[in-house]
């Protein structure tokens, strides 16, 4: 009788709470690390495991406390490698308290052929909190001649303000990347951007100009709560950034994007 092969799995977790005067609480475990430059309100996530494989589990719990400002980014693009069965699992829990500003701006997620990823993003916002988030995905690196013939992805977003759901989104496919005119067409890099701020609707025309022909955006204002959602699609990650970086810079309310985005 042949014994079942038990594959090594990677785990990691981050717990981070930023107050108006600096870090209030920080805990890191296993392969997940976070670094905050001295005096900065910018947290840089690092996966010392070098990427995600099937069965890996990571969680990030991030809070911007009352009147605090916090931007969370990543050291580099996250790589998701071929899975031998189960999906890599990523749980993101975000909270923005009254008067705070929370930006979730990780770099791209690269899916390799055969990759499997399940990611859940939950954000709870106070009534006057400002929130900006992006998740972008690249299906293989074109410059390296990589082709993704089959992958599994389930990206789930839930954003609430004062406990009321203001944004819900589920993106999922299992198999060849969807290539119809209504989905990715010939694109292999795509992104979702969400802004929750009072002036969201006022920024709509300028965001559309920044995106150009690589996507579009919509915005609404309801009960003094503004929301803007943008979708971007490009041939590869380089082309995606040509529109994504100007759009994020505009939505960041004058704040510079994390320096890791310029590497």
174-220 pLDDT, tens digit each: 999 998 888 898 899 999 999 999 999 999 999 999 999 999 999 99
- Number of domains forming the structure of the chain: 1
Is residue 228 included in any domain, yes or no?
Answer: yes
pLDDT exceeds 60 at position 235: yes
Residue 83 and residue 112 in contact, taking contact as beta carbons nearer than 8 Å: no
Is residue 109 included in any domain, yes or no?
Answer: yes
pLDDT at position 55 is 93
pTM, rounded to two decimals: 0.94
Strands 22-30 and 215-222: unpaired
pLDDT band at 17 (very low <50, low <70, confident <90, very high): very high
pLDDT at position 65 is 98
Q: Of 142-156, 160-174, 245-259, where does mean pLDDT reach its minimum?
A: 142-156
Is residue 4 included in any domain, yes or no?
Answer: no
Close Cβ partners of 101 (under 8 Å, ≥ 6 residues apart): 64, 68, 69, 70, 129, 130, 131, 253
| Structural domain containing residue 115 | 11-262
Residue 247 and residue 193 in contact, taking contact as beta carbons nearer than 8 Å: yes
Is residue 112 included in any domain, yes or no?
Answer: yes
Is residue 20 included in any domain, yes or no?
Answer: yes
């Amino acid at each position: 009788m042949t014994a079942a092969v038990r594959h090594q799995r990677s785990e990691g977790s981050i717990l981070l709470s930023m107050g108006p005067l600096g870090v209030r609480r920080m805990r890191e475990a296993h392969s997940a690390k976070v670094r905050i430059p001295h005096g900065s309100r910018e947290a840089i996530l690092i996966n010392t495991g070098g990427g995600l494989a099937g069965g890996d589990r990571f969680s990030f719990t991030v809070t911007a406390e009352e009147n605090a400002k916090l931007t969370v980014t990543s050291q580099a693009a996250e790589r998701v490698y071929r899975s031998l069965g189960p999906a890599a699992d990523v749980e993101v829990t975000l909270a923005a308290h009254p008067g705070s500003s929370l930006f979730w701006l990780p770099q791209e997620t690269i899916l390799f052929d055969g990759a499997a990823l399940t990611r859940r993003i939950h954000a709870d916002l106070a009534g006057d909190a400002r929130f900006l988030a992006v998740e972008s995905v690249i299906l293989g690196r074109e410059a390296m001649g990589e082709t993704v013939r089959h992958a599994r992805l389930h990206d789930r977003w839930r954003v609430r303000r004062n406990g009321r759901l203001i944004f819900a989104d589920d993106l999922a496919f299992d198999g060849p990347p969807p290539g119809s005119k209504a989905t990715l067409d010939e694109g292999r890099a795509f992104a979702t951007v969400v802004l929750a701020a009072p002036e969201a609707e006022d920024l709509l025309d300028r965001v559309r100009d920044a995106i150009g022909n690589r996507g579009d955006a919509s915005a609404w204002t309801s009960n003094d709560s503004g929301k803007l959602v943008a979708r971007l699609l490009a041939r590869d990650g380089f082309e995606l950034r040509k529109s994504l970086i100007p759009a994020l810079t505009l939505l960041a309310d004058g704040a510079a994007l994390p320096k890791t985005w310029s590497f």
